[in-house]
Structure 1
Amino acid sequence: MSTFTSVLAFPFHVLASVFRFIFQTLRIPFPRLPFSSLNFYRPLGGRAGPSDPYSVADRWVRSLEDETGAQCLSRAPANASGLDAGPSSLPGSGDLRSRYGAVGRRMLPDFVLGSYEEALRICQKEARIGCIILVSDEHDDVPDFKRHTLTDVNFVDLLHKNDFVVWGGDIRDREAWSAARKLQATTYPFVAFISLQPPRAPSSFTPNASRSTTPSLTVLSRHQGSSTPASGPTSTATLTDHITHQLLPRVSPFLGRIRAAARERELERALREEQDRAFRDSERRDREKVARRLEEEKRAEDEKRAEEQRLKAIEEARIMKEERKAKWRREARSALVGVEATGPHALRMGVRMPDGQRLVRMFERHDRVTALYCLVDTHLNPSESKEVVQEDAQSGEDALRDLMQQSGESTEEWWGFKLFLAYPRKEVAWTSGTTLSEVDGLEKGGQVLVEMISAGRKSEELPSGDGSDGYDTEESE
């Protein structure tokens, strides 16, 4: 039946809409038509235009601004007129006037641009009171409601100061029509107030019903009908009186507790996050400290291993040098010393060792300085092996020179000692191929002193005295 009556009334509503559009454009009050109060019309497909909730709500708010000549609070710049508000005779309007300019400027509530469900979610999430405004341009009471109630400075300021969630629409749009059905609106203009309320106690007739402790959105009051006269259900006086003396005293304490609990939960959450962040930072610092310690230990271990390898290489090189030197002492040193000379032209050499021991040996004139050094080395480092490989002096001296080059040691480092003439004091340096008779001071024999320079031993210089070792030399003869 409702579909049939809607089809019959459709041409009349189309005609009324055309005339209303013309009258609104010319700013002429639209006369009351006999069929305009019929409430059996329902939208068959919605008005043409955007279908998303944001665009539909924005279009309705803009048309409301055009029709009333007012601006929503969110669209109006503060003190746009540049004039001081000055004193106002309207009670409760001082704040709004001081924020938005001179006397005579008209304001609309700050409507939520979105769907009806979005407005309800805001009310529930933020514990705020919702004001739902539904109109139908088919009702003659709507224009007066728009121009007087919705733009009344007391009403707008009351909604603004108490942080109401205001949502509205025309039931010709699907979203507003759906909201009208849920709110059981039958007459327009229609105003409903919605807020969170404590859950109702279960009925005594349902003893097994579970009691919920979660607050739920509840329709607190419905106001529908004409905004005139001043006692009308949607007039400014009626709505402001209802908000001030009934709605706010009833709802504000409960919503205040909810917001306080929400703030406490938020503080606890922030505290937990801060504690978690501090714990994570501490954990991160501990991990970094452990990583640094492990890295330092690894670096120290690597350095220690490298040092050990270096020392090992040095030790191996030293051992290798000592082994080569020991092999040379076993196999070739005795050959370089040779057999003691016995002829009349032999050179008698006296050698004073670092420990005070005196050695005397006869050398041939063609014997090399190497033989004298080998003699001293034989007494300082006696070989455990009795085997002697006989080599001629020349080949043995060449082999010795090659060993010195391979070891990388200097002459002094190889021998570990130096030889000096007793008087006058003069070093007898080792040189390959030099004979004893070619050394200045040893042409006829003589006395030499041994001074140690090897590592682990202190160089020791014995007093030369008069150079006598208790033996005569050819010089003395």
Structure 2
Amino acid sequence: MPSAKVDLDDLTESQQLALQQFTSMTDQDLESALPILQRSEWNVQAPIAIAKFFDGESADPVAEALASSSSAPPPRPSVHRETLINGSNPHQPAWADAPDFHPAPRVVPQPEAQVANRPSFILTLLFTPFNLLSRLLATSFGLFSHVFPFLPRLCAFLFLHSPTRAGSMRSTSNRRPLNPRDTAARFIREFEEEYGSNELPFLECGYAQALDRAQKNLEFLLVILISPEHDDTSTYVRETLLSPEVVDFIKNPQNSIIVWAGSVQDSEAYQVSTALNCTKFPFTALIAHTPRTGPAAMSAIARLAGPMPPATFITKLQNSIAQCSEPLERVRAARATQQADRDLRARQNAAFERSLAQDRERARLRREAEAARELAEREVRRKAEAEEKRVRDLQQWRSWRAGLLRPEPGPDVKDATRVSLKMPSGERVVRKFAPDAEIEELYAFVECYDVLSSEVSSTSSAMKQPENFEHSYAFRLIDPLPPRKALELETGVTIRDRIGRSANLFVDMLEEDVDEEQE
């Protein structure tokens, strides 16, 4: 039976939406609207049911019964299912009996021109008759709308559902078009100026960014669309949206609700209302991720059109949230598991990279230590070889220089200089030098004394001076008589000129030579 005996809970989501649209357009009660919709096969998108209403077709019980028996969808059979745990069938998904959700498209407003091009004065004069005619027609249509109140709603409905209308219609108001973020900021500012400061967490961004955030964080997006020209807007905002219970419900973190609002005077909000099939203001839609419709699908799970008390508003939102909570919790758990796996892999990779870096650092230090050790060994070998070569060259130089020493003067040389030398070993050596012998001859005698006293002294004359060897005496001859002074090695100065006929000298080894011998 139709009319009052039809339970609205037995209607599907699409049938309830069609009933709501039909009653908003025709202002009929439910008892009269149900028979027309059933005979029109619930087709409210095309103007079949509305045309029947305006043609004056009445609700015929017999025709309604026949139409209901032929075209109405059969009621769902009440089938008892065996339950295993908590009264649920493990083979039946939790959302199997959930109503069909309408997809929520991602609306990105097209950029509009910031500067309006004014026509020239000549074009303005040419089109003046057409402007007057259009104003006359608009005035006439206004008079007809007062006589026939259903004409404006019918034209608006036909235009809204026309397949040739533009998806992104330019706003007819004089509001300056802005980017989505600035448009949201302007709406929030105007909302606060009109209704005072409030605690509603409006998002200061575009609708597309809010939809992306809700999809990414698995949150519920509450879209609020208002029309300042609507009579119920002010009452709806003050008594419903700004009521303490609604504000507390929206701000409750457990509900995971984010709010995006807009005025249909703005282009973006108008496009959103068109995409969500909004037919009555004020309009509120609750959008959430619906896993059963797709891996990244966003759907409108609740549509609240027209004014309503705060308790009804909260109840409808709670029921819609409860329908999608379980699938969203599974998706959240799956994402949390995936994130935990990614974090674990990231920590493992970081630990592996640290271990690899430590191994590389140890290998580098080992290579550097090995290179330093090899360098030190090469330096030691080089110094040893250089020292060996220096000793060989020094020995060769001594042998060569010993062969060049002038022989000791005989007794017949009366001007010879007698020198008594105390060697570093403590041995006392006395030798005469020719009167014209230079001081270098005395130093050479001390340097070559070991060679002269050895058995190879006879072959010293055959030695050659070593190549690339610069000899320097590692000792000084000191005169111990006061004042104590050193016999410096000077070129062109004879021994007799410096010390006279005789002198007692001792050999003083230089500190550098002593340090090298100790080392």
TM value normalised by structure 1:
0.54
Shift of 1:183: 0.9
CA distance in 1, matches of 2:180, 2:434: 126
Higher deviation after alignment, 138-147 or 116-125: 138-147
Q: Does 1:310 align with 2:435?
A: no
CA distance in 2, matches of 1:175, 1:277: 45
Q: SS at the partner of 2:382? A: helix
For the Cα contact (< 8 Å) 2:223–2:259, is it kept in 1? yes
Aligned counterparts, 1:457-468, within 5 A: none
Residue by residue, what CA displacement relative to the aligned partner does 1:267-297 show, whole Å, maximum 9, x if unpaired?
A: 3333333333333334344444443443444
Tell me: CA distance 1:113–1:8, structure 2 relative to 1, closer, same or farther (3 Å): farther
- In the other structure, the counterpart of 1:216 is 297
Amino acid at match of 2:249: L
Shift of 1:163: 2.4
- In the other structure, the counterpart of 1:88 is none
Shift of 1:198: 2.0
Q: Select 1:65's aligned residue among 192, 200, 204.
A: 192
CA distance in 1, matches of 2:222, 2:449: 122
Q: Does 1:410 align with 2:475?
A: yes
CA distance in 2, matches of 1:9, 1:199: 54
Q: SS at the partner of 2:292? A: coil
Amino acid at match of 1:241: T
- In the other structure, the counterpart of 1:281 is 354
Aligned counterparts, 1:324-343, within 5 A: 324-330=397-403, 332=404, 336=407
Shift of 1:324: 1.2
Shift of 1:180: 1.3
For the Cα contact (< 8 Å) 2:177–2:266, is it kept in 1? no
Aligned counterparts, 1:168-317, within 5 A: 168-200=261-293, 214-225=295-306, 227=307, 234-244=308-318, 246-317=319-390
Amino acid at match of 2:304: H
Shift of 1:155: 1.6
What stretches of structure 1 of length at least 5 have no aligned partner?
1-6, 16-32, 74-108, 201-211, 228-233, 343-362, 390-398, 400-404, 413-430, 442-452, 456-477
Q: Select 1:45's aligned residue among 142, 156, 170.
A: 170
Which structure is higher in helix share?
Answer: 2
Tell me: CA distance 1:252–1:388, structure 2 relative to 1, closer, same or farther (3 Å): closer
Q: SS at the partner of 1:385? A: helix
How many residue pairs get aligned? The number is: 340
Residue by residue, what CA displacement relative to the aligned partner does 1:247-281 show, whole Å, maximum 9, x if unpaired?
A: 22211222223223333333333333333333333
- In the other structure, the counterpart of 1:147 is 238
Higher deviation after alignment, 378-387 or 113-122: 378-387
Identity of matched residues, %:
24
Q: SS at the partner of 1:63? A: helix
CA distance in 1, matches of 2:180, 2:237: 21
Q: Select 2:396's aligned residue among 323, 338, 344.
A: 323
Residue by residue, what CA displacement relative to the aligned partner does 1:69-89 show, whole Å, maximum 9, x if unpaired?
A: 34332xxxxxxxxxxxxxxxx
Q: SS at the partner of 1:185? A: coil
Tell me: CA distance 1:375–1:258, structure 2 relative to 1, closer, same or farther (3 Å): closer
CA distance in 2, matches of 1:39, 1:8: 21
TM value normalised by structure 2:
0.50
CA distance in 1, matches of 2:154, 2:266: 16
Q: Select 2:251's aligned residue among 130, 137, 160.
A: 160
For the Cα contact (< 8 Å) 2:398–2:451, is it kept in 1? no
For the Cα contact (< 8 Å) 2:302–2:317, is it kept in 1? no
Amino acid at match of 1:336: P
Residue by residue, what CA displacement relative to the aligned partner does 1:82-126 show, whole Å, maximum 9, x if unpaired?
A: xxxxxxxxxxxxxxxxxxxxxxxxxxx322222221221111001
Amino acid at match of 2:198: C
- In the other structure, the counterpart of 1:114 is 205
CA distance in 1, matches of 2:325, 2:354: 42
Q: SS at the partner of 1:382? A: helix
Aligned counterparts, 1:368-383, within 5 A: 377-383=451-457
CA distance in 2, matches of 1:62, 1:375: 111
For the Cα contact (< 8 Å) 1:337–1:375, is it kept in 2? no
Tell me: CA distance 1:410–1:137, structure 2 relative to 1, closer, same or farther (3 Å): closer
For the Cα contact (< 8 Å) 2:408–2:434, is it kept in 1? no
Amino acid at match of 2:170: G
CA distance in 2, matches of 1:10, 1:268: 68
For the Cα contact (< 8 Å) 2:402–2:461, is it kept in 1? no
